[in-house]
């Protein structure tokens, strides 16, 4: 599966929102990231070689489109992070986050609701 660098994530997030030309990407994120047009071109070329984007010629411009699904890449990256940092344990990660007070009450409520839902779905499939 595909691994994206931090910069590639920034570009892909823009393209997942809306396909774009090099000039549009340069205007949208080039300034905030202090990236030049040539930096964006280099990164798009890498993403194209990885099979993450394609482009279509529009006159003199190239319009770039993502060809990978955001959710699939996010799941793969998350699993890799869990394996690398927490030996694949979601519980260890949550314990670390709770221990550092990174989980707010709202986060805990949302997690509890998800866990309750998954537990219910599991018990329904066991019947």
What is the full per-residue pLDDT of the chain (127 aa) written as tens digits? 688 999 999 999 999 999 999 999 999 998 888 899 999 999 999 999 999 999 999 999 999 999 999 999 999 999 999 999 999 998 898 888 777 777 788 988 998 999 899 888 887 776 5
- Structurally, what CATH architecture does the domain formed by 6-66 represent? Orthogonal Bundle (1.10)
Cβ contact 30:40 at 8 Å: yes
How distant, in Å, are the alpha carbons of 8, 17, 61, 96, 101 from that of 41? 11, 19, 12, 39, 40
Model-level pTM? Answer: 0.77
pLDDT recorded at residue 85: 93
pLDDT recorded at residue 89: 92
């Amino acid at each position: 599966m595909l691994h994206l660098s931090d910069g590639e994530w920034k570009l892909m997030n823009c393209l997942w929102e809306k396909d774009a030309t090099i000039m549009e990407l340069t205007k949208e994120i080039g300034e905030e990231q202090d990236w030049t047009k040539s930096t964006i071109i280099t990164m798009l070329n890498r993403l194209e070689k990885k099979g993450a984007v394609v482009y279509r010629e529009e006159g003199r411009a190239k319009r770039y489109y993502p060809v990978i699904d955001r959710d699939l890449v996010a799941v793969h990256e998350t699993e890799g992070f869990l394996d690398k940092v927490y030996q694949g344990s979601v519980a260890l990660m949550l314990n670390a986050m709770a221990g550092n007070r990174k989980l707010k009450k709202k986060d805990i409520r949302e997690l509890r609701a998800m866990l309750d839902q998954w537990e219910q779905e599991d018990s329904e499939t066991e019947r």
